[in-house]
């Protein structure tokens, strides 16, 4: 009998740029490794301003240039997400602080981490935030993809070390 899938929730502010990008990149990496069924992915925002909206067109275009598909509709983080997901992976310190402050207990708080904590180069440099590209130019979306990919590769290595696949 196969183990139940690991459940990961990627979190940013509005759930239209960074968190759907992280979900798309992670799905792409899992597909390359034949691990799609081993992990369940979702994304959400700390705020509900964009609820129901697709990923930002600039994020989608940047990802598509790399062969990565971004899907889904924006939603806000719910209290039940602390139960349904093993890890809540935040884009930056503000998202991390918000999610930890709203965690119902210490166990739930421990599930909340920043995605770049899994990127050894980011840890060494002390740059764990993924900047929000929403108000910048298109280059910011490419930068986000680079940062997210490094974090997702490290996260995948961490999951493998814990017995995935």
Active centre residues (catalytic): 12, 18, 132
Sheet holding 39-45, edge to edge: 39-45, 6-12, 87-90, 112-114
Structure tokens given for 1: 């009998």
Query: Which pTM does this prediction carry?
Result: 0.97
Q: What's the pLDDT tens digit per position in 85-128? A: 999 999 999 999 999 999 999 999 999 999 999 999 999 999 99
C-alpha 85 chain-centroid distance: 12
Q: What's the pLDDT tens digit per position in 20-68? A: 999 999 999 999 999 999 999 999 999 999 999 999 999 999 999 999 9
Our CA dihedral for 138, 66, 144, 40, rounded to 10 degrees, sits at: 140
pLDDT at residue number 139: 92
Structure tokens given for 10: 């990627």
């Amino acid at each position: 009998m196969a183990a139940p899938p690991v459940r990961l929730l990627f979190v940013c502010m509005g759930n239209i740029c960074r968190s759907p990008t992280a979900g798309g990149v992670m799905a792409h990496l899992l597909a390359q490794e034949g691990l799609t069924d081993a992990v369940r992915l979702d994304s959400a925002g700390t705020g509900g301003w964009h609820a129901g909206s697709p990923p930002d067109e600039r994020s989608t275009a940047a990802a598509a240039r790399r062969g990565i598909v971004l899907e889904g509709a924006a939603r806000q983080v719910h209290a039940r997400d602390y139960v349904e997901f093993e890890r809540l992976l935040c884009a930056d310190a503000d998202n991390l602080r918000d999610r930890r402050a709203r965690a119902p207990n210490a166990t739930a708080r421990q599930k909340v981490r920043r995605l770049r904590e899994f990127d050894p180069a980011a840890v060494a440099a002390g740059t764990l935030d993924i900047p929000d590209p929403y108000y910048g130019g298109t280059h910011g979306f490419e930068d986000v993809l680079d940062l997210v990919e490094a974090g997702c590769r490290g996260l995948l290595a961490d999951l493998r070390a814990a017995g995935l696949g």
